[in-house]
């Protein structure tokens, strides 16, 4: 018995592009005909790349009309199913039902007017797949006070930090929270770090409630 690159077991020898005896050609062609038509389990990104190499050796050229689907075991939960149409660029399929959620621990933050960005809601997603993400923040005020400034969100991918707050932002006066804010970010792949804060222009000392939270949802490639 032999096994194709996609994991299909066939009688005889391993399939190759070299002509064999007629009956072996029959088994080879039958096994290889399923390349690209099934989802292949892989353990890691390294194993995924090895699969591409093995399929190419069997004569399967990945393209827009001949994609390859894998189920990668070390992907974030719910994001295991992936597809490539060129053998190098991969997209994640079937966005998860659950989002990455950060809920503030049982502590408070005294926040004084400083004009600087302080990340009150940090969230790191390791090996986040490339694609679009919605970022929803709810900030709850615990102590009394008046805050003038703006809500700011920053996303860091690798060494590049993007400020998602419009450059033409205007200060707002906040006297009561909770307040809810939403952003959309396109991630290029790798670790993703999200930070949300009030950036203060003026106001009294403010303390944010531990119930403040940040929800990041992958919405597709």
Residues paired with residue 206 on neighbouring β-strands, in sequence order:
111
- At 210, is the pLDDT very low, low, confident or very high (cuts 50, 70, 90)? low
- Alpha carbon of 164 to those of 116, 184, 196, 197: distances in Å? 16, 8, 10, 12
Mean pLDDT check: name the lowest of 31-40, 67-76, 91-100. Answer: 91-100
The C-alpha atoms of residue 169 and residue 192 are separated, in whole angstroms, by 24
Give the tens place of pLDDT for each residue, 171-183.
655 555 567 778 8
Question: Residues 67-98, buried b or exposed e (16+ Cβ, 10 A)?
Answer: ebebebeebbeebbebbbeebeebebeebeee
Q: How far apart are CA 80 and CA 91, in angstroms?
A: 10
- What distance in Å separates the CA atoms of residue 180 and residue 219, rounded to the nearest whole number? 19
Overall average pLDDT of the 84-109 stretch: 69
In the predicted model, what is the mean pLDDT of the chain?
74
Tens of pLDDT, residues 18-68: 555 666 666 666 677 778 888 999 999 999 999 999 889 888 899 999 999
Could you tell me the two tokens for 115? 């004009």
100-220 adopts what CATH topology? Jelly Rolls (2.60.120)
Is 167 exposed, middle or buried (CB count within 10 Å of its CB: 0-12, 13-18, 19+)?
Answer: exposed
Give me the residue spans of the domains in the chain.
Answer: 2-92, 100-220
* pTM of the predicted structure, to 2 decimals: 0.52
Distance CA 7, CA 81 (A): 17
The distance of Cα 57 from the centroid of its chain, to the nearest Å, equals 31
């Amino acid at each position: 018995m032999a096994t194709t690159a996609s994991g299909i077991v066939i009688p005889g020898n391993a399939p190759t592009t070299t002509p064999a005896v007629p009956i072996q050609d029959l088994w080879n062609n039958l096994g290889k005909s399923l390349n690209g038509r099934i989802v292949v389990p892989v353990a890691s990104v390294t194993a995924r790349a090895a699969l591409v190499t093995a399929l190419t050796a069997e004569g399967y050229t990945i393209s827009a009309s001949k994609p390859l689907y894998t189920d990668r075991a070390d992907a974030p939960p719910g994001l295991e199913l992936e597809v490539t149409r060129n053998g190098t660029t991969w997209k994640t399929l079937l966005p998860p039902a659950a989002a990455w959620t950060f809920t503030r621990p049982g502590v408070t933050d005294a926040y004084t007017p400083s004009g600087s960005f302080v990340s009150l809601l940090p969230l790191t997603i390791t090996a986040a797949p490339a694609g679009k993400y919605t970022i929803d923040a709810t900030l709850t005020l615990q102590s009394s006070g008046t805050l003038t400034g703006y809500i700011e969100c920053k996303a860091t991918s690798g060494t590049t930090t993007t400020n998602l707050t419009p450059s033409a932002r205007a200060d707002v006066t906040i006297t009561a929270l909770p307040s809810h804010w939403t952003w959309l970010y396109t991630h290029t792949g790798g670790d993703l770090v999200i930070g949300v804060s009030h950036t203060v222009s003026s106001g009294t000392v403010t303390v944010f409630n531990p119930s403040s939270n940040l929800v990041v949802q992958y919405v597709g490639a």
